[in-house]
Amino acid sequence: MGRAVVDELLQTPGMTVRVLVRPEEKSHPVIRRLQKQHNIDYAWGDLTDPVSVDRAVAGVDVVLHMGALVSPLADELPPALVEKVNVGGTQNVVDAIRRQPHADQIRLVYIGTVAETGSRNPPNHWGRTGDPICIGYNGHYAGTKARAEAIVAESGLRHWVSIRQTGMAHYDMWKTQGPIMFHNPPNGVMEWSTVEDSANLMAKLCGDRIPDHFWRHFYNIGGGETGRLVNHQLMVRMMAAMGVSDFRRILDPKWLATRNFHGQWYLDSDRLQELVPYRRFSIDDFFAELSRRIPWALRTLMRFFPGLARKQILKVAEGPGGPLTWLRTNDVEHIDAYFGSREEWDRIPSSWDDFPLAQPSREAVALAHGYDDAKPKGEWTADDLRAAAGFRGGKCHVDAVDDAFTPVEWECSLGHRFSMSPNLYLAGGHWCPTCQTDIESYPRVAASNPFFAQVWPGPSAQTSTPGAPNPVN
């Protein structure tokens, strides 16, 4: 995303772009290409170094914070390193802005992630901001991004926004070869954005026409109705772009997870489009362009010899971190997280002929938030906060509300007390900081927190009904 955003900004008249780059990356082909541009400036340093971030932020009007360690790499690295970059780096950005003499004028755009709200397989596949933060198993990346988002929202800055990125279609997707390719449930969903639209949005947020009421909110970025795909529909289109007429010739249904992967269709992504019109390149446009970019030789090979591709993918499934390795070694934690249990995996049909590829309901259904969420933030009362806390099995220790951004005292369903702004708690869907990232506590939380129980345990995709209709297209 960052590369596309920089390219987009450099095409904007009158725009000077400063990029924070690690010194060891000076010879990177992208950096060498960008150095030919006249309107780009470099701050050599590291996101984890406060001095480097101070240099990067000094004198700027807008900070686009897209720097992070992301999955699958983030799930393979030491958690302390991911924490240092994603959480510590965000704190450095916020602190650097605060130290600027014009801090109240600086606009901070933080890129969050759909992963913060976890697995939302049908029938809970419609979502919006304010839904519960729900970290999936092995979701250290999502946990760090949620904590970083909280740092931004509680920063006290006057102009911040969290844009939660969804699945972003980009032109290196077809190169993915790691075990993460097996994590997407065929009957799960995603509302896709494209790299072009994401870059256009970031460029527009650097402009002068952003209304003041846009800031201090959370938004979902998505492609709208045309971007809402079931994962098996994505497989069809991705394989078609690579020259394969039917993904079922390449993949086995028993290789693919049935749960524990983020994704949802958004009730509210059109709101961002209304405020900052940015959509110009749909998912249909993307796949047409992807077909042109994939090398002709590869498309020809995949078209006439799909068995070779299947053998290569099977090696990944049987390799380190692959689902067949989990089953061979009886890795119960991963089996239970991604399939429910070995018994449930056994029930997955071996043939696609017996595997029901579902079409989830396109009738939007919203989760309950426990208060009148149609009411503007400026009209929230103590009763609204207490109602929201009660729906979460907890309490709000407040007699009056000063505003949506001043922290108040809450108590969670397990008895932890904490301070958090009503904005982050209600509009952001955050809850007890102790429980929120402690996945081991989730069953106990769900038993006492009706708000969270709506998404935990995440319902599995229906994969085990033999003989069901198979509407692959």
CA distances from 49 to 27, 43, 55, 88, 108 (A): 21, 12, 10, 9, 18
Amino acid occupying residue 99: R
Q: What is the pLDDT of residue 470?
A: 34
| Digit-coded pLDDT (tens) for 318-346 | 999 999 999 999 999 999 999 999 999 99
In terms of pLDDT, which residue wins out, 14 or 282? 282
- Flag whether the pTM goes above 0.85: yes
The distance from CA 234 to its chain's CA centroid, rounded to whole angstroms, is 17
Half-sphere exposure of 74 (CA within 13 A, CB side): 20
Fold assignment, 2-288: Rossmann fold (3.40.50)
Q: What is the pLDDT of residue 277?
A: 97
Amino acid occupying residue 61: D
Percent of the chain with pLDDT over 90: 90
Backbone angles phi, psi at 250, to 5 degrees: -110, -40
Does pLDDT of 359 surpass 60? yes
Residue identified by tokens 């901001």 is: 129
Does pLDDT of 471 surpass 80? no
Does pLDDT of 465 surpass 50? no
Q: Which two tokens stand for residue 155?
A: 């920063």
Angle between helices 306-317 and 296-304 (to 10 degrees): 90
Minimum mean pLDDT range among 236-245, 446-455, 457-466? 457-466
Contact 463, 356 (CB under 8 A): yes
Q: What is the pLDDT of residue 449?
A: 98
- Residues of each domain in the chain carrying CATH 3.40.50.720: 2-288
Does pLDDT of 462 surpass 80? no
Average pLDDT over residues 154-171: 97
In terms of pLDDT, which residue wins out, 420 or 138? 420
Q: What is the pLDDT of residue 14?
A: 87
- Locate all alpha helices (DSSP H) within 207-266, ordered by sequence: 231-241
Q: What is the pLDDT of residue 139?
A: 85
Does pLDDT of 464 surpass 70? no
Minimum mean pLDDT range among 173-182, 315-324, 341-350? 173-182
**Burial of 75 from C-beta contacts in 10 A (0-12 / 13-18 / 19+):** buried
In terms of pLDDT, which residue wins out, 461 or 164? 164
Percent of the chain with pLDDT over 70: 97
* CA–CA gap between residue 442 and residue 438 (Å, rounded): 7
Minimum mean pLDDT range among 203-207, 384-388, 430-434, 457-461? 457-461
